[in-house]
Chains A and B, each alone.
Chain A
Amino acid sequence: EAGVVQSPRYKIIEKKQPVAFWCNPISGHNTLYWYLQNLGQGPELLIRYENEEAVDDSQLPKDRFSAERLKGVDSTLKIQPAELGDSAVYLCASSPRDTLTGELFFGEGSRLTVL
């Protein structure tokens, strides 16, 4: 079974440029998460989707960040414009549903460097 797939794995951009990350969850997983992982920190939730609906986006900085999951499968996270402080690893995870007791399945992450 294929795992959670993310691309690109690495991205280097100049500040004020836009950037987008793509995630394809495990087949059949209805719940999709985007996490931010700063260096030396644990992952922090940015947004959670149940199918195509964003049910928790309280931690997403909406002035520059946006996300979509149009058909309830793969998802895109966009930053426009990027700032120096956005340099981090962006992790995507999925689960069969937002089960409180279940595990999350993570992708390998997209490492962003903003110069």
Chain B
Amino acid sequence: QAVVTQEPSLTVSPGGTVTLTCGSSTGAVTSGHYPYWFQQKPGQAPRTLIYDTSNKHSWTPARFSGSLLGGKAALTLSGAQPEDEAEYYCLLSYSGARPDVVFGGGTKLTVL
């Protein structure tokens, strides 16, 4: 099974910009991996922020954006707010006869 890698932790200043990445042990991440991004705050369920690389849900703040960057999926937060401090997980889909999906290990984002 593929391994999906994320930065264990990142720190951003309030109002600053930070990019979280999501890589795959099988090679470059492409749109065909249909990258997803989830936000999870302590004691809460995950919330889906981005699907299929760059699409936002109605509840996704405009300051979050998804893209492909340097062979990885990327989640960029522009204008960080204190409430953005959370764990962020990515999810990649691999071709196969079943939902062959793998979550990344998560990035703990601190806004400080």
A and B form one complex:
no
The interface of chain A, by Cβ under 8 A from chain B, is none
